A and B are shown apart, each in its own frame.
Chain A
Amino acid sequence: DGGITQSPKYLFRKEGQNVTLSCEQNLNHDAMYWYRQDPGQGLRLIYYSQIVNDFQKGDIAEGYSVSREKKESFPLTVTSAQKNPTAFYLCASSPDRGSGNTIYFGEGSWLTVV
Chain B
Amino acid sequence: AQTVTQSQPEMSVQEAETVTLSCTYDTSENNYYLFWYKQPPSRQMILVIRQEAYKQQNATENRFSVNFQKAAKSFSLKISDSQLGDTAMYFCALSASGAGSYQLTFGKGTKLSVIP
Interface residues of A (CB under 8 A from B): 40-43, 45, 88, 90, 92, 97-108
Contacts and interface: CB of A to CB of B under 8 A. Distances in A.
Interface in B40-94: 42-47, 50, 52, 91
Contacts of A97: 102
Nearest to A105: B45
Given A40-B108, A42-B109, A45-B104, A99 B31 contact: yes
A88 B43 contact: yes
Contact of A42 (B42, B96, B108): B108
B25 interface: no
A42 B106 contact: yes
Given A45-B104, A102-B35, 7 more contacts: A41-B108, A43-B91, A98-B102, A99-B96, A99-B104, A100-B95, A105-B44
A36 B40 CA distance: 17
3 smallest CB-CB distances across A and B, nearest first, come from A105-B45, A99-B97, A99-B95
A92 B104 CA distance: 12
Interface of B is mostly: strand
B66 to A, nearest CB: 15
A56 to B, nearest CB: 10
Given A98-B97, A99-B96, A99-B102, A42 B107 contact: yes
B91 A107 contact: no
Given A43-B91, A90-B45, A107-B44, A100 B108 contact: no
Contacts of A90: 45
A5 to B, nearest CB: 12
Nearest to B45: A105
Contacts of B46: 105
